[in-house]
Amino acid sequence: MSDDAPAPTRTRDAGERVIRTFEVRHVQLGRALLAALAAIMITFSPDHSAAVGLAVFSGWAIATALVLIFGAWLAYPAGRRGAPVLLGALTIAAGMVTGIPPLRSTGMFFVVVIAWAVATGLAELIGGIRLRRTAGAAGNLRDEIRDEARDGILVGALTLVLGVGLLLVNPAYSLEYFIADAGRSFTLTGITIGVGLFGGYAAIVAVVLGIAGFSPRRAVTTDGTPSGGSA
């Protein structure tokens, strides 16, 4: 192992073996934090309009994409960088499109978020399934790769569920109802339901990836072997 490896991504332990400073769990924790922020912003916002929903989605998508893309090089070994790079590319594209304020509308919310959910959901789900199939040949890293594959399959499935859920919502839906205690009437619209679904998805993903990121695992050396300690 070369001693002139970049300091930001590698370090040495007591046994003089080079190990990764950034691991897959750090990418998961970064994604969990951003998803939690998006869920909080939607939950505590009284306005669930398309403008607000797309603003939150855009900021979350661009930040998450950067975590995935930079994490691909900092945390993943060479043979496993394709999936996070693909997810990052699809997500940053959706974030950039929805980041243009004059274009934000109810139609854009449903079209872009559904397209993003289906594309990234399938990509992460298929990537997790393929990774799980390679776990048997991973030797000492078999359990870690299986855990990573399981998390990818779960998050991919949740993202697909979001896409299906949004497909079932009529963007033109509108229901007026009266609450006596509040002394006023309210209107439940399709975009309110859609933005709420995204907020619920973000909250669940934050919990799933947070648990995955905080789960103990063994540190991995840059040559793909376990370092012998708990991460």
* Amino acid 218: pLDDT: 56
* Amino acid 141: pLDDT: 59
Angle, in degrees to the nearest 10, between helices 24-43 and 190-214:
150
**Separation of alpha carbons 222 and 17, rounded Å:** 9
* Ramachandran category for residue 216: left, alpha or beta (phi over 0 → left; psi -120 to 50 → alpha): beta
* Amino acid 119: pLDDT: 98
* Amino acid 180: pLDDT: 76
Tokens of 229: 């300690």
**Separation of alpha carbons 63 and 192, rounded Å:** 24
- Tens of pLDDT along the chain (231 residues)? 444 444 444 444 433 333 567 788 999 999 999 999 999 999 999 999 999 999 999 999 999 999 999 999 998 888 788 999 999 999 999 999 999 999 999 999 999 999 999 999 999 999 999 988 886 655 555 667 888 899 999 999 999 999 999 999 999 998 888 787 777 887 899 999 999 999 999 999 999 999 999 987 655 444 445 444 444
Buried b (16+ CB within 10 A) or exposed e, 213-229: beeebbbbbeeeebbee
* Amino acid 186: pLDDT: 78
174 with 190: CB under 8 angstroms? yes
Task: Work out the burial of residue 231: count CB atoms within 10 Å of its CB; fewer than 13 is exposed, 13-18 middle, 19 or more buried.
Answer: middle
